Protein backbone atom coordinates (compact mmCIF):
# COMPACT_ATOMS: atom_id res chain seq x y z
CA UNK A 1 0.00 0.00 0.00
CA UNK A 2 1.42 3.38 -1.01
CA UNK A 3 2.18 6.10 1.53
CA UNK A 4 -0.48 8.43 0.04
CA UNK A 5 -3.11 5.70 0.27
CA UNK A 6 -2.22 4.94 3.92
CA UNK A 7 -2.52 8.62 4.83
CA UNK A 8 -5.89 8.86 3.02
CA UNK A 9 -7.05 5.66 4.73
CA UNK A 10 -6.24 7.06 8.19
CA UNK A 11 -7.95 10.38 7.43
CA UNK A 12 -11.10 8.59 6.28
CA UNK A 13 -11.06 6.37 9.38
CA UNK A 14 -10.94 9.43 11.63
CA UNK A 15 -13.59 11.31 9.70
CA UNK A 16 -15.78 8.21 9.64
CA UNK A 17 -15.59 7.83 13.43
CA UNK A 18 -16.56 11.49 13.97
CA UNK A 19 -19.46 11.33 11.52
CA UNK A 20 -20.68 7.99 12.91
CA UNK A 21 -20.77 9.46 16.40
CA UNK A 22 -22.97 12.28 15.07
CA UNK A 23 -25.55 9.81 13.79
CA UNK A 24 -26.82 8.47 10.48
CA UNK A 25 -28.44 11.74 9.35
CA UNK A 26 -25.36 13.97 9.67
CA UNK A 27 -23.21 11.16 8.21
CA UNK A 28 -25.31 11.05 5.03
CA UNK A 29 -25.59 14.85 4.78
CA UNK A 30 -21.81 15.31 4.95
CA UNK A 31 -21.19 12.62 2.34
CA UNK A 32 -23.76 14.24 0.05
CA UNK A 33 -22.18 17.67 0.54
CA UNK A 34 -18.72 16.26 -0.23
CA UNK A 35 -20.08 14.58 -3.34
CA UNK A 36 -21.60 17.88 -4.51
CA UNK A 37 -18.22 19.58 -4.20
CA UNK A 38 -16.28 16.95 -6.11
CA UNK A 39 -14.54 18.35 -9.20
CA UNK A 40 -14.14 14.89 -10.69
CA UNK A 41 -17.00 13.03 -12.35
CA UNK A 42 -16.86 9.26 -11.70
CA UNK A 43 -19.47 8.56 -14.40
CA UNK A 44 -18.92 8.20 -18.15
CA UNK A 45 -19.42 11.44 -20.01
CA UNK A 46 -21.49 12.12 -23.09
CA UNK A 47 -19.75 13.57 -26.11
CA UNK A 48 -21.73 16.81 -26.04
CA UNK A 49 -21.59 20.29 -24.57
CA UNK A 50 -23.87 20.32 -21.50
CA UNK A 51 -24.50 23.14 -19.07
CA UNK A 52 -27.28 24.29 -16.76
CA UNK A 53 -29.66 26.61 -18.55
CA UNK A 54 -31.79 29.23 -16.81
CA UNK A 55 -33.08 31.92 -19.20
CA UNK A 56 -33.96 35.45 -18.21
CA UNK A 57 -37.72 36.13 -17.97
CA UNK A 58 -39.33 37.10 -21.27
CA UNK A 59 -42.00 39.71 -21.87
CA UNK A 60 -45.47 38.55 -22.92
CA UNK A 61 -46.08 38.53 -26.67
CA UNK A 62 -49.04 40.81 -27.51
CA UNK A 63 -49.93 38.49 -30.39
CA UNK A 64 -50.83 35.84 -27.78
CA UNK A 65 -53.50 38.00 -26.15
CA UNK A 66 -56.49 36.30 -27.88
CA UNK A 67 -55.13 32.89 -26.85
CA UNK A 68 -54.65 33.96 -23.22
CA UNK A 69 -58.19 35.39 -23.16
CA UNK A 70 -59.59 32.14 -24.51
CA UNK A 71 -57.68 30.09 -21.94
CA UNK A 72 -58.77 32.37 -19.10
CA UNK A 73 -62.44 32.02 -20.07
CA UNK A 74 -62.05 28.25 -19.80
CA UNK A 75 -60.30 28.71 -16.43
CA UNK A 76 -63.23 30.77 -15.10
CA UNK A 77 -65.67 28.05 -16.18
CA UNK A 78 -63.52 25.35 -14.58
CA UNK A 79 -63.31 27.24 -11.27
CA UNK A 80 -67.08 27.64 -11.26
CA UNK A 81 -67.50 23.90 -11.83
CA UNK A 82 -65.00 23.22 -9.04
CA UNK A 83 -67.11 25.21 -6.57
CA UNK A 84 -69.99 22.81 -7.01
CA UNK A 85 -67.87 19.66 -6.85
CA UNK A 86 -67.63 17.13 -4.05
CA UNK A 87 -65.19 18.60 -1.47
CA UNK A 88 -63.37 15.26 -1.48
CA UNK A 89 -62.25 16.01 -5.05
CA UNK A 90 -60.66 19.36 -4.24
CA UNK A 91 -56.83 19.65 -4.08
CA UNK A 92 -55.13 18.16 -1.04
CA UNK A 93 -53.38 20.59 1.30
CA UNK A 94 -49.97 20.25 -0.37
CA UNK A 95 -51.28 21.08 -3.83
CA UNK A 96 -53.44 23.90 -2.46
CA UNK A 97 -50.32 25.58 -1.04
CA UNK A 98 -48.66 25.37 -4.46
CA UNK A 99 -51.75 26.93 -6.10
CA UNK A 100 -51.91 29.72 -3.52
CA UNK A 101 -48.23 30.62 -4.04
CA UNK A 102 -47.30 29.93 -7.65
CA UNK A 103 -50.64 30.47 -9.38
CA UNK A 104 -51.72 33.59 -7.53
CA UNK A 105 -51.71 35.63 -10.75
CA UNK A 106 -54.74 33.58 -11.80
CA UNK A 107 -56.47 34.32 -8.50
CA UNK A 108 -55.80 38.05 -8.95
CA UNK A 109 -57.12 37.89 -12.51
CA UNK A 110 -60.34 36.31 -11.21
CA UNK A 111 -60.73 39.20 -8.78
CA UNK A 112 -59.72 42.07 -11.06
CA UNK A 113 -60.13 40.83 -14.63
CA UNK A 114 -56.58 42.02 -15.38
CA UNK A 115 -54.80 39.31 -17.42
CA UNK A 116 -51.38 40.97 -17.57
CA UNK A 117 -50.03 38.96 -14.62
CA UNK A 118 -51.48 35.73 -16.01
CA UNK A 119 -49.89 36.37 -19.39
CA UNK A 120 -46.54 37.11 -17.75
CA UNK A 121 -46.79 33.87 -15.75
CA UNK A 122 -47.67 31.77 -18.80
CA UNK A 123 -44.83 33.30 -20.81
CA UNK A 124 -42.38 32.07 -18.13
CA UNK A 125 -44.12 29.24 -16.28
CA UNK A 126 -41.48 26.62 -17.19
CA UNK A 127 -38.72 28.69 -15.55
CA UNK A 128 -40.82 30.06 -12.69
CA UNK A 129 -38.87 30.65 -9.47
CA UNK A 130 -41.59 29.27 -7.22
CA UNK A 131 -42.57 25.56 -7.31
CA UNK A 132 -45.41 24.96 -9.76
CA UNK A 133 -45.77 21.21 -9.20
CA UNK A 134 -45.32 20.52 -12.91
CA UNK A 135 -41.62 21.27 -13.49
CA UNK A 136 -38.34 21.39 -11.53
CA UNK A 137 -37.69 25.06 -12.30
CA UNK A 138 -37.35 26.02 -8.62
CA UNK A 139 -34.42 23.61 -8.27
CA UNK A 140 -32.75 25.05 -11.36
CA UNK A 141 -32.94 28.49 -9.73
CA UNK A 142 -31.34 27.12 -6.57
CA UNK A 143 -28.57 25.28 -8.43
CA UNK A 144 -27.78 28.30 -10.59
CA UNK A 145 -26.89 30.40 -7.54
CA UNK A 146 -24.32 28.01 -6.02
CA UNK A 147 -21.38 26.89 -8.12
CA UNK A 148 -20.84 23.47 -6.53
CA UNK A 149 -24.57 22.64 -6.80
CA UNK A 150 -24.64 23.75 -10.43
CA UNK A 151 -21.64 21.54 -11.15
CA UNK A 152 -23.19 18.63 -9.24
CA UNK A 153 -26.44 18.88 -11.20
CA UNK A 154 -24.61 19.01 -14.52
CA UNK A 155 -22.06 16.27 -13.83
CA UNK A 156 -23.70 13.93 -11.35
CA UNK A 157 -27.42 14.17 -12.17
CA UNK A 158 -27.84 15.07 -15.84
CA UNK A 159 -24.67 13.63 -17.39
CA UNK A 160 -25.31 10.03 -16.22
CA UNK A 161 -29.01 10.25 -17.10
CA UNK A 162 -28.31 11.48 -20.62
CA UNK A 163 -25.43 9.02 -21.06
CA UNK A 164 -27.79 6.19 -20.12
CA UNK A 165 -30.48 7.43 -22.54
CA UNK A 166 -27.99 7.86 -25.39
CA UNK A 167 -26.48 4.41 -24.81
CA UNK A 168 -29.67 2.38 -24.26
CA UNK A 169 -32.68 4.33 -25.56
CA UNK A 170 -31.62 6.71 -28.33
CA UNK A 171 -31.69 4.12 -31.13
CA UNK A 172 -29.49 6.30 -33.25
CA UNK A 173 -31.36 9.54 -32.50
CA UNK A 174 -29.58 12.62 -31.20
CA UNK A 175 -30.42 14.78 -28.17
CA UNK A 176 -32.88 16.90 -30.12
CA UNK A 177 -35.27 13.97 -29.51
CA UNK A 178 -35.50 15.08 -25.86
CA UNK A 179 -35.80 18.79 -26.56
CA UNK A 180 -38.79 20.89 -25.57
CA UNK A 181 -40.08 23.65 -27.84
CA UNK A 182 -39.39 27.16 -26.47
CA UNK A 183 -42.90 27.67 -25.10
CA UNK A 184 -43.24 28.98 -21.54
CA UNK A 185 -39.50 29.85 -21.45
CA UNK A 186 -38.24 26.39 -20.37
CA UNK A 187 -35.12 25.81 -18.28
CA UNK A 188 -33.02 22.73 -17.53
CA UNK A 189 -29.78 21.94 -19.31
CA UNK A 190 -28.60 23.02 -22.72
CA UNK A 191 -27.16 20.09 -24.67
CA UNK A 192 -25.71 20.90 -28.08
CA UNK A 193 -28.24 23.71 -28.48
CA UNK A 194 -31.24 21.68 -27.18
CA UNK A 195 -33.13 22.62 -24.01
CA UNK A 196 -33.71 19.42 -22.03
CA UNK A 197 -35.35 19.10 -18.63
CA UNK A 198 -34.74 16.20 -16.30
CA UNK A 199 -38.35 15.06 -16.68
CA UNK A 200 -38.10 15.00 -20.46
CA UNK A 201 -35.77 11.99 -20.52
CA UNK A 202 -38.24 9.50 -19.09
CA UNK A 203 -41.25 11.27 -20.55
CA UNK A 204 -39.83 10.36 -23.95
CA UNK A 205 -39.31 6.75 -22.86
CA UNK A 206 -42.73 6.36 -21.23
CA UNK A 207 -44.41 8.01 -24.24
CA UNK A 208 -42.94 5.43 -26.62
CA UNK A 209 -44.00 2.61 -24.32
CA UNK A 210 -47.54 3.92 -23.95
CA UNK A 211 -47.97 4.63 -27.65
CA UNK A 212 -47.20 0.97 -28.25
CA UNK A 213 -50.12 -0.11 -26.04
CA UNK A 214 -52.84 1.31 -28.29
CA UNK A 215 -53.94 0.33 -31.77
CA UNK A 216 -56.35 1.60 -34.37
CA UNK A 217 -56.41 4.62 -36.63
CA UNK A 218 -57.34 7.07 -33.86
CA UNK A 219 -57.07 5.75 -30.29
CA UNK A 220 -58.56 7.69 -27.38
CA UNK A 221 -55.97 8.41 -24.68
CA UNK A 222 -56.93 10.12 -21.42
CA UNK A 223 -54.73 11.35 -18.60
CA UNK A 224 -55.39 12.50 -15.05
CA UNK A 225 -52.87 15.07 -13.82
CA UNK A 226 -50.97 15.66 -17.05
CA UNK A 227 -49.18 18.81 -15.87
CA UNK A 228 -48.29 21.08 -18.78
CA UNK A 229 -48.74 18.28 -21.33
CA UNK A 230 -45.20 16.96 -21.57
CA UNK A 231 -46.20 13.31 -21.91
CA UNK A 232 -48.88 14.17 -24.48
CA UNK A 233 -46.27 16.16 -26.42
CA UNK A 234 -43.89 13.21 -26.60
CA UNK A 235 -46.70 10.73 -27.36
CA UNK A 236 -47.59 12.83 -30.41
CA UNK A 237 -44.21 11.88 -31.85
CA UNK A 238 -45.19 8.22 -31.76
CA UNK A 239 -48.87 8.36 -32.80
CA UNK A 240 -49.99 9.87 -36.09
CA UNK A 241 -53.57 10.44 -34.94
CA UNK A 242 -55.16 10.18 -31.52
CA UNK A 243 -57.60 12.01 -29.28
CA UNK A 244 -56.05 13.19 -26.04
CA UNK A 245 -58.35 14.03 -23.11
CA UNK A 246 -56.50 15.73 -20.28
CA UNK A 247 -58.11 16.03 -16.84
CA UNK A 248 -56.45 18.24 -14.25
CA UNK A 249 -56.84 21.11 -11.80
CA UNK A 250 -58.07 24.37 -13.37
CA UNK A 251 -54.72 26.08 -12.67
CA UNK A 252 -52.55 23.50 -14.39
CA UNK A 253 -55.02 23.24 -17.28
CA UNK A 254 -54.18 26.87 -18.01
CA UNK A 255 -50.54 25.85 -18.50
CA UNK A 256 -51.29 22.78 -20.61
CA UNK A 257 -53.68 24.72 -22.85
CA UNK A 258 -51.09 27.47 -23.39
CA UNK A 259 -48.34 24.93 -24.08
CA UNK A 260 -50.14 22.39 -26.25
CA UNK A 261 -52.13 24.85 -28.38
CA UNK A 262 -48.89 26.55 -29.38
CA UNK A 263 -47.02 23.27 -29.80
CA UNK A 264 -49.76 21.92 -32.14
CA UNK A 265 -51.33 24.90 -33.92
CA UNK A 266 -52.75 22.61 -36.60
CA UNK A 267 -54.79 20.53 -34.12
CA UNK A 268 -58.34 21.13 -32.89
CA UNK A 269 -58.69 21.95 -29.18
CA UNK A 270 -61.76 21.85 -26.97
CA UNK A 271 -61.39 23.78 -23.71
CA UNK A 272 -63.83 23.59 -20.84
CA UNK A 273 -67.00 25.60 -21.38
CA UNK A 274 -66.64 25.78 -25.16
CA UNK A 275 -68.72 22.66 -25.90
CA UNK A 276 -70.03 19.53 -24.20
CA UNK A 277 -68.00 16.37 -23.69
CA UNK A 278 -69.89 13.96 -25.97
CA UNK A 279 -69.06 11.12 -28.36
CA UNK A 280 -69.23 13.66 -31.18
CA UNK A 281 -66.69 15.99 -29.54
CA UNK A 282 -64.33 13.08 -28.87
CA UNK A 283 -64.58 12.19 -32.55
CA UNK A 284 -64.12 15.78 -33.69
CA UNK A 285 -61.37 17.23 -31.47
CA UNK A 286 -57.71 16.21 -31.19
CA UNK A 287 -57.17 17.63 -27.68
CA UNK A 288 -59.79 18.04 -24.96
CA UNK A 289 -58.67 19.74 -21.73
CA UNK A 290 -61.19 19.35 -18.90
CA UNK A 291 -61.21 19.83 -15.10
CA UNK A 292 -60.68 16.58 -13.22
CA UNK A 293 -63.95 16.97 -11.34
CA UNK A 294 -65.71 16.33 -14.69
CA UNK A 295 -63.98 13.01 -15.38
CA UNK A 296 -67.14 11.07 -14.54
CA UNK A 297 -68.87 12.44 -17.65
CA UNK A 298 -67.04 9.93 -19.85
CA UNK A 299 -69.03 6.81 -20.64
CA UNK A 300 -68.16 3.20 -19.89
CA UNK A 301 -65.21 1.75 -21.81
CA UNK A 302 -64.87 4.89 -23.92
CA UNK A 303 -61.10 5.30 -23.46
CA UNK A 304 -58.51 2.98 -24.99
CA UNK A 305 -55.77 3.93 -22.53
CA UNK A 306 -55.93 5.95 -19.31
CA UNK A 307 -52.69 7.33 -17.84
CA UNK A 308 -51.72 8.71 -14.46
CA UNK A 309 -48.27 9.77 -13.30
CA UNK A 310 -47.71 10.73 -9.65
CA UNK A 311 -50.95 12.59 -8.97
CA UNK A 312 -52.96 9.72 -7.46
CA UNK A 313 -50.30 9.55 -4.77
CA UNK A 314 -50.77 13.27 -4.05
CA UNK A 315 -54.50 12.97 -3.33
CA UNK A 316 -56.45 12.05 -0.25
CA UNK A 317 -57.67 8.48 -0.08
CA UNK A 318 -61.25 9.60 -0.85
CA UNK A 319 -60.14 11.41 -4.01
CA UNK A 320 -57.93 8.61 -5.35
CA UNK A 321 -60.60 5.98 -4.61
CA UNK A 322 -63.16 8.05 -6.49
CA UNK A 323 -60.95 8.65 -9.52
CA UNK A 324 -59.61 5.09 -9.79
CA UNK A 325 -63.14 3.66 -9.78
CA UNK A 326 -64.15 6.07 -12.56
CA UNK A 327 -60.97 5.36 -14.52
CA UNK A 328 -61.61 1.62 -14.38
CA UNK A 329 -65.20 2.14 -15.47
CA UNK A 330 -64.35 4.13 -18.59
CA UNK A 331 -61.06 2.51 -19.64
CA UNK A 332 -59.93 -0.55 -21.53
CA UNK A 333 -56.36 -0.12 -20.28
CA UNK A 334 -54.98 1.71 -17.27
CA UNK A 335 -51.29 2.61 -16.82
CA UNK A 336 -50.09 4.49 -13.79
CA UNK A 337 -46.84 5.36 -12.03
CA UNK A 338 -47.06 6.08 -8.31
CA UNK A 339 -45.49 5.25 -4.97
CA UNK A 340 -45.36 1.63 -3.90
CA UNK A 341 -45.27 2.19 -0.16
CA UNK A 342 -44.76 5.89 0.67
CA UNK A 343 -47.87 7.85 1.57
CA UNK A 344 -48.61 11.45 2.55
CA UNK A 345 -50.14 12.29 5.92
CA UNK A 346 -52.66 15.13 5.55
CA UNK A 347 -53.67 15.22 9.20
CA UNK A 348 -57.01 14.49 10.87
CA UNK A 349 -56.59 10.83 9.94
CA UNK A 350 -56.44 11.56 6.21
CA UNK A 351 -53.64 10.27 4.01
CA UNK A 352 -52.82 9.27 0.46
CA UNK A 353 -52.88 5.69 -0.79
CA UNK A 354 -50.06 3.44 -1.98
CA UNK A 355 -50.26 1.46 -5.22
CA UNK A 356 -51.54 -1.72 -3.61
CA UNK A 357 -54.50 0.17 -2.12
CA UNK A 358 -56.00 1.53 -5.34
CA UNK A 359 -59.39 -0.12 -5.96
CA UNK A 360 -58.65 -1.66 -9.37
CA UNK A 361 -61.20 -4.49 -9.81
CA UNK A 362 -59.12 -7.56 -10.63
CA UNK A 363 -62.26 -9.41 -11.70
CA UNK A 364 -62.37 -7.01 -14.65
CA UNK A 365 -58.68 -6.24 -15.22
CA UNK A 366 -55.51 -8.27 -15.66
CA UNK A 367 -52.30 -6.85 -14.24
CA UNK A 368 -50.16 -7.13 -17.39
CA UNK A 369 -46.95 -5.69 -15.96
CA UNK A 370 -45.54 -4.12 -12.83
CA UNK A 371 -42.03 -2.69 -12.93
CA UNK A 372 -39.75 -0.23 -11.20
CA UNK A 373 -39.41 3.21 -12.76
CA UNK A 374 -35.63 3.55 -12.88
CA UNK A 375 -35.79 7.29 -13.58
CA UNK A 376 -35.81 8.32 -9.89
CA UNK A 377 -33.39 5.47 -9.21
CA UNK A 378 -30.61 7.00 -11.29
CA UNK A 379 -31.73 10.60 -11.72
CA UNK A 380 -30.40 12.04 -8.45
CA UNK A 381 -26.68 11.66 -9.09
CA UNK A 382 -26.51 8.33 -7.27
CA UNK A 383 -28.40 5.04 -7.10
CA UNK A 384 -31.33 5.51 -4.74
CA UNK A 385 -32.39 2.11 -3.44
CA UNK A 386 -35.22 3.75 -1.49
CA UNK A 387 -36.92 4.77 -4.74
CA UNK A 388 -40.38 3.22 -4.81
CA UNK A 389 -41.96 4.60 -7.98
CA UNK A 390 -43.59 1.63 -9.71
CA UNK A 391 -45.37 1.42 -13.05
CA UNK A 392 -48.55 -0.67 -13.31
CA UNK A 393 -50.27 -1.65 -16.56
CA UNK A 394 -53.78 -3.11 -16.38
CA UNK A 395 -55.80 -4.41 -19.33
CA UNK A 396 -59.51 -5.14 -19.26
CA UNK A 397 -60.27 -8.84 -19.41
CA UNK A 398 -62.12 -10.11 -22.48
CA UNK A 399 -65.80 -10.82 -21.94
CA UNK A 400 -68.20 -13.07 -23.75
CA UNK A 401 -70.57 -11.24 -26.07
CA UNK A 402 -73.48 -11.93 -23.74
CA UNK A 403 -71.70 -10.48 -20.72
CA UNK A 404 -70.45 -7.54 -22.74
CA UNK A 405 -73.95 -6.68 -23.98
CA UNK A 406 -75.33 -7.03 -20.47
CA UNK A 407 -72.59 -4.81 -19.04
CA UNK A 408 -72.87 -2.09 -21.66
CA UNK A 409 -76.61 -2.16 -22.14
CA UNK A 410 -76.04 -2.24 -25.88
CA UNK A 411 -73.16 -0.76 -27.81
CA UNK A 412 -75.24 2.09 -29.15
CA UNK A 413 -75.49 3.59 -25.68
CA UNK A 414 -71.75 3.64 -25.11
CA UNK A 415 -69.22 6.17 -26.29
CA UNK A 416 -67.39 4.51 -29.16
CA UNK A 417 -63.78 3.53 -28.62
CA UNK A 418 -61.04 4.30 -31.14
CA UNK A 419 -61.80 3.67 -34.77
Q: What is the full DSSP assignment across 32-101?
A: HHHHHT-SS--S---SS-EEEE-PPP-PPPGGGHHHHHHHHHHHHHHHHHHHTS-GGGSPPHHHHHHHHH
Task: Encode pLDDT of 86-121 as tens digits.
Answer: 888 889 888 999 999 999 999 999 999 999 999 999
What's the chain's average pLDDT? 88
Q: Show the domain range for 401.
A: 199-413
Residue at 251 is within a domain? yes
Residue at 364 is within a domain? yes
What pLDDT is recorded for position 29? 61
Q: Is the pLDDT assigned to residue 411 strictly greater than 50?
A: no
Residue at 9 is within a domain? no
SS3 140: helix
SS3 297: helix
Residue at 365 is within a domain? yes
Task: Encode pLDDT of 127-175 as tens digits.
Answer: 999 999 999 999 999 999 999 889 888 888 888 889 989 999 999 999 9
What pLDDT is recorded for position 148? 87
CA angle 137, 119, 269 (to 5 degrees): 90
Residue at 30 is within a domain? no
Instruction: Give start and end residues of each alpha helix (H) in 92-197.
Output: 93-102, 104-112, 116-124, 137-145, 147-152, 159-168
- What is the count of structural domains for the chain? 1
Residue at 39 is within a domain? no
Quote the pTM value. Answer: 0.86
Task: Encode pLDDT of 341-375 as tens digits.
Answer: 999 998 888 899 999 999 999 999 999 999 998 87
Residue at 316 is within a domain? yes
Low-confidence winner among 204-213, 278-287, 406-415 (lowest mean pLDDT): 406-415
Low-confidence winner among 39-43, 230-234, 290-294 (lowest mean pLDDT): 39-43
Task: Encode pLDDT of 236-285 as tens digits.
Answer: 999 989 999 999 999 999 999 999 999 999 999 999 999 999 999 999 99
For the chain, count helices (H), then strands (E). Answer: 16, 13
For residue 369, give the CATH number of its domain.
3.40.50.150
Residue at 307 is within a domain? yes
| Res. 412 pLDDT band, cuts 50 70 90 | very low
Q: Is the pLDDT assigned to residue 400 strictly greater than 80?
A: no
Amino acid sequence: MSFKYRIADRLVDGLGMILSAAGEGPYRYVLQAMSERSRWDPHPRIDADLHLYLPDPVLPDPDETPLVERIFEAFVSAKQAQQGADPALLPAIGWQRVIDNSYRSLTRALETGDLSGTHEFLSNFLSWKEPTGIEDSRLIHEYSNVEHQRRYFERRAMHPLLYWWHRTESRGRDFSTLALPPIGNPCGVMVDGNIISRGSVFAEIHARTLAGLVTGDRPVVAELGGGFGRLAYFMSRNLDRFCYIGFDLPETLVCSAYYLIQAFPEKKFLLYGEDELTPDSVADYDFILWPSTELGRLRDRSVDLFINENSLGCMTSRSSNHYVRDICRISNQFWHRNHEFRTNDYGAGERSLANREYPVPLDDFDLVSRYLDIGPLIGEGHVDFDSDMMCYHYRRKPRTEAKRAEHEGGKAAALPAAR
